């Protein structure tokens, strides 16, 4: 989602993300034995995937991992404010986080968003996404690469958001990645999913994202 404004909530979220990054990203299951038995799933996203607006406890990647009951080792490599071009609150991008988190044994890499790139040149978004997706594939040749476009709390998203969606779909097509379109599916187009700031999901919205992503991944 859009880069958080300064304030208590933003500071708390930034500290949470910093802790995640400092610890080598957030894995939902810290038991090494159970991790070795589970498929490694890396999620690269923005504040929509960190749980900003609620808490990291309600971030959809963690909910997804809990729902799979140990079958997945979900590594949440997301950062507030970042995108393929947009630099996050801790200085990262989708490319830098994927480079740090994707390993040769990764089974699925999910790139989720981002509307943070809405002010960027569309051709540059596609180029940056292609570079990022290709790098992930080179690191984990057997992994599914899943590109998820931006979301919206309306069934009539603005043209700039649709343009980012189209730029990412083009990148997915060029690299052979899977593309998932939350705008077409109207994933968050309901009032109960929109948080007080009008830009981040409620707990119900995070649960909805978990359900939609579980379906998109065929879990």
Domains of the chain as residue ranges with CATH: 8-216 (3.40.50.1110)
Helix ranges (H only) for 140-202 are 159-175, 182-185
124-176 pLDDT per residue, tens: 999 999 999 999 999 999 999 999 999 999 999 999 999 999 999 999 999 99
**Given this model, what pLDDT does residue 4 score?**
54
How buried is 218 (Cβ within 10 angstroms: 0-12 exposed, 13-18 middle, 19+ buried)? exposed
Question: Residue 197: pLDDT above 50?
Answer: yes
CA distances from 118 to 24, 64, 113, 215 (A): 28, 27, 10, 27
Categorize the per-residue pLDDT at 69 as very low, low, confident or very high, splitting at 50, 70 and 90.
Answer: confident
What are the backbone dihedrals phi and psi of residue 109, each rounded to the nearest 5 degrees, phi first? -120, 125
Q: For residue 180, list its beta bridge partners.
A: 148
pTM of the model: 0.85
Check if the beta carbon of residue 13 is closer than 8 Å to that of residue 4.
yes
Question: Residue 82: pLDDT above 60?
Answer: yes
């Amino acid at each position: 989602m859009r880069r958080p404004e300064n304030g208590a909530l933003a500071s708390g979220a930034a500290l949470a993300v910093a802790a995640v990054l400092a610890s080598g990203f957030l894995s939902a299951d810290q038991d090494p034995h159970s991790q070795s038995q589970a498929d490694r799933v890396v999620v690269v996203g923005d504040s929509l995937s960190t749980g900003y607006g609620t808490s990291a406890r309600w971030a959809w990647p963690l909910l997804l991992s809990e729902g799979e009951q140990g079958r997945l080792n979900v590594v949440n490599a997301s950062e507030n404010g970042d995108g393929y071009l947009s630099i996050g609150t801790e200085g990262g991008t989708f490319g830098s986080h994927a480079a740090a988190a994707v390993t040769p044994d990764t089974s699925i890499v999910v790139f989720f968003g981002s509307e943070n790139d809405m002010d960027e040149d569309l051709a540059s978004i596609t180029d940056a996404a292609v570079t990022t997706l290709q790098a992930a594939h080179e690191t984990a040749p057997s992994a599914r690469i899943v590109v998820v476009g931006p979301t919206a709390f309306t069934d009539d998203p603005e043209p700039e958001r649709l343009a980012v969606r189209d730029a990412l779909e083009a990148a997915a097509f060029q690299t052979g990645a899977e593309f998932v379109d939350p705008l077409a599916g109207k994933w968050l187009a309901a009032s109960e999913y929109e948080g007080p700031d009008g830009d981040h999901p409620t707990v119900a919205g995070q649960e909805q994202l978990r359900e939609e992503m579980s379906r998109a991944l065929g879990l």
